Amino acid sequence: GAVVSQHPSRVICKSGTSVKIECRSLDFQATTMFWYRQFPKQSLMLMATSNEGSKATYEQGVEKDKFLINHASLTLSTLTVTSAHPEDSSFYICSANTGGYGYTFGSGTRLTVV
């Protein structure tokens, strides 16, 4: 089946630094990738939709300059958390539509900002 590979699985960074998270579709082409953030015991909140070759579409309230999304190819989308702060510590997860109602998710990235 369709697989999305997400790296890193865990990352610890210092406050003020930037962190890049990658999601690759391994056996299919993902023209669209979705990025979610999940705080403990809470829902998956859609942050943005990345589109290959064009600008990402951000959900209301999500800072575009803080969460930079790049979708440079049909198999790779990246999320960069810029100038990270402790409140950005969360579980970040990507997802791709595999056709119709099918969505496959990456394994997630646990970000801790110290």
Interface residues with other proteins (CB under 8 A) are: 32, 34, 36, 41-46, 49, 60, 91, 93, 95, 97, 99-103, 105-108, 110
Q: Considering beta carbons, is residue 35 or 88 the nearer one to other proteins?
A: 35
* Calpha distance 53→30 (Å, rounded): 11
* Calpha distance 41→30 (Å, rounded): 29
How far apart are CB 9 and other proteins at their closest, in Å? 10
How far apart are CB 83 and other proteins at their closest, in Å? 26
How far apart are CB 39 and other proteins at their closest, in Å? 11
- SS3 label, residue 88: helix
> Residue 87 carries which DSSP code?
G
